[in-house]
């Protein structure tokens, strides 16, 4: 056995904290007190279990920035996700009521909002302006995709006299936050850059549950329930639901566990056979022969080896996916026609509905803590870091940990075994199982 990996979990600070924290009746966190966590394969994919120490989130006794002289900015990047407005609201309320900063400003339309040529206005964020935004989905600041030069972003921060930048976004946004942090440090500026990880796919490294994921699973189960009703409505009925998950199948897996009517779950991490006696088509036909109905849940990134794709990428650098559900529907039609087997297929794609709804109660609570802890970190002069919840502990993580790779579903874990047991789909259908054997 090799040596356990050692992760650098230290968080950069802008300098010594000399200002008394204005928070009343507060339990302060000591920077020197680290939280040891035992990390397993569910957190460290393809690596041995290990113990790492992390910096605990929370208010410090002394802070770096003098609140009346501190201006904050918030930017939201990438695709929509339930809970973004909740995080914005939590940041604004905490910065205003707890720390009494001089002002908080919203950057419109993602990182484009920093670049003068786009001519996007800046929005002043006050307790009154954000009071009810958690009741709505999306982001009041709007968003955009695509990289912007960190030099231009830092130029804008200097022009606006911003001391703290909160970046809410996914993997690409956290990489952008890292680039901005490096440019700030290269110039010797005293600007804190704090990331709040946002990904509905739940695929950010070292973040075991991203905000919005719980809401997404709730809404996904509604679509699955409808697909099940449709499948029961005709002999040989098939209900197919397409869910988010470009590289990680967490939503598809979790929603399938939440609603036991699912018979097949297809995820990016588990390549599957389409043809042959052990393939998906043969197993689907066998299911219909015995039970007269079937429900299929497909993560959007599943089965890309079966799609005709030309290796193009979107503005964020993500591969443009082939539509696996188009492929499956065409192949089901061809296979069942050749077999002389009659069926009815109903297809549901609730992706944009799921992305755009308000957060549920659990995610609202989670978003509130993330926003508050982000403000505590920023006022203490932390930078180049994200706020994360790991094993029920709120922690500060350096950006290089969360941007190292995408988090993926471990198909060798007990979690995936539970999914397989819940659906009853045969292991022989999956190429990853055959390779492991």
Residue from 86, 201, 218, 363 carrying the catalytic annotation: 201
Q: State the DSSP code for 98.
A: I
- Our CA dihedral for 403, 405, 407, 409, rounded to 10 degrees, sits at 180
Between 414-423 and 250-258, two packed helices, what is the crossing angle to 10 degrees?
50
Residues 344, 423: Cα–Cα separation, whole Å = 21
- Our CA dihedral for 60, 66, 71, 74, rounded to 10 degrees, sits at -10
Q: State the DSSP code for 299.
A: E
H or E stretch covering 13: strand 12-13
- 201: annotated active-site residue: yes
- Annotated catalytic residues are 201
């Amino acid at each position: 056995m090799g040596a356990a990996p050692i992760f650098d979990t230290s968080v950069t600070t802008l300098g010594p904290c000399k200002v008394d924290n204005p928070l009343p009746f507060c339990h302060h966190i000591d920077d020197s007190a680290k939280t040891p966590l035992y990390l397993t394969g569910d957190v460290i994919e393809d690596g041995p279990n290990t113990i790492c120490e992390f910096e605990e989130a929370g208010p410090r006794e002394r802070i770096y920035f003098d609140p009346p002289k501190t201006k904050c900015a918030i930017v939201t990047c990438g695709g929509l996700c339930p809970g973004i407005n909740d995080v914005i609201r939590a940041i604004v309320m905490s910065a205003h009521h707890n720390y009494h900063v001089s002002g908080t400003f919203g950057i419109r339309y993602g990182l484009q909002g920093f670049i003068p040529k786009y001519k996007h206005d800046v929005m002043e964020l006050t307790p009154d302006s954000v009071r009810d935004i958690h009741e709505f989905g999306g982001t009041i600041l709007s968003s955009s995709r695509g990289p912007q030069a960190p030099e231009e972003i830092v130029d804008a921060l200097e022009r606006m006299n911003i001391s703290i930048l909160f970046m809410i976004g996914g993997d690409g946004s956290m990489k952008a936050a890292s680039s901005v942090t490096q440019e700030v440090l290269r110039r010797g500026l005293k600007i804190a850059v704090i990331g709040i990880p946002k990904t509905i796919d739940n695929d950010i490294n070292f973040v075991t549950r991203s905000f919005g994921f719980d809401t997404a699973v709730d809404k996904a189960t509604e679509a699955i329930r409808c697909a099940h009703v449709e499948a029961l409505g005709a002999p040989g009925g098939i209900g197919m639901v397409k869910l988010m998950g470009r590289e990680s199948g967490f939503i598809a897996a979790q929603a399938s566990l939440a609603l036991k009517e699912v018979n097949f779950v297809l995820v990016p991490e588990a390549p599957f056979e389409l043809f042959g006696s052990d393939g998906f088509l043969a197993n689907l036909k066998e299911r219909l022969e015995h039970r007269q109905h079937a429900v299929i849940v497909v993560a959007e990134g599943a089965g890309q080896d079966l799609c005709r794709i030309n290796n193009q990428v979107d503005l964020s650098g993500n591969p443009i996916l082939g539509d696996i559900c188009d492929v499956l529907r065409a192949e089901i039609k061809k296979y069942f026609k050749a077999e002389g087997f009659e069926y009815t297929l109903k297809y549901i794609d609730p992706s944009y509905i799921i992305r755009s709804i308000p957060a549920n109660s659990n995610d609202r609570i989670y978003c509130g803590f993330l926003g508050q802890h982000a403000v505590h970190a920023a006022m203490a002069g932390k930078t180049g870091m994200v706020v994360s919840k790991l094993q029920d502990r709120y922690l500060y993580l350096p950006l290089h940990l969360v941007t190292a790779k995408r988090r993926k579903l471990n198909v060798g874990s007990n979690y995936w075994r539970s999914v397989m047991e819940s659906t009853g789909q045969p292991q022989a259908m999956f190429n990853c199982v055959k390779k492991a054997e």
